[in-house]
């Protein structure tokens, strides 16, 4: 399933690749955390992660934060990733799942 970013106004000031990138989940390598029941929810600015974490915890989910790795993204994102050191992936899973 491919999801294309439609709201380019939101991305003003973002890198050119972000305006054009489509994310194909099927072409991504399997996330090793998925085998442990974790679902990647979003890429979050570290300044806003407390808000997102609180929301998911209020819904009764366990939350895990992971730094992004270069192989999580396609080559069109390399330049932006070099400048986005304050981003983290937020994962969730049902509380007590192992």
What are the pLDDT digits (tens) for 6-62?
433 333 344 444 444 444 444 455 778 999 999 999 888 888 899 999 999 999 999
What is the number of alpha carbons within 13 Å of residue 13 lying toward its C-beta?
1
Q: Given this model, what pLDDT does residue 66 score?
A: 92
Is the separation of the CB atoms in 64 and 38 below 8 Å? yes
Q: Given this model, what pLDDT does residue 41 score?
A: 92
| Three-class secondary structure of residue 53 per DSSP | helix
Rounded Cα distance, 13 and 48, in Å: 19
Cβ-based neighbours of 7, under 8 Å, separated by 6 or more: none
What are the pLDDT digits (tens) for 62-97?
999 998 887 777 888 777 777 777 889 999 999 987
Q: Given this model, what pLDDT does residue 28 score?
A: 52
Is the separation of the CB atoms in 92 and 56 below 8 Å? yes
| Three-class secondary structure of residue 55 per DSSP | helix
Q: Given this model, what pLDDT does residue 49 score?
A: 92
């Amino acid at each position: 399933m491919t999801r294309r970013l439609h709201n380019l106004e939101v991305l003003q000031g973002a890198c050119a690749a972000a305006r054009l990138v489509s994310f194909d989940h099927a072409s991504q390598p399997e996330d090793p955390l998925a085998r442990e029941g974790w679902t990647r929810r979003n890429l979050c600015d570290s300044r806003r992660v407390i808000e997102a974490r609180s929301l998911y915890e209020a819904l009764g989910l366990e939350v895990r934060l992971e730094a992004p790795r270069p192989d999580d993204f396609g080559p069109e994102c390399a330049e932006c990733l070099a400048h986005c050191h304050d981003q983290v992936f937020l994962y969730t899973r049902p509380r007590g799942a192992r």
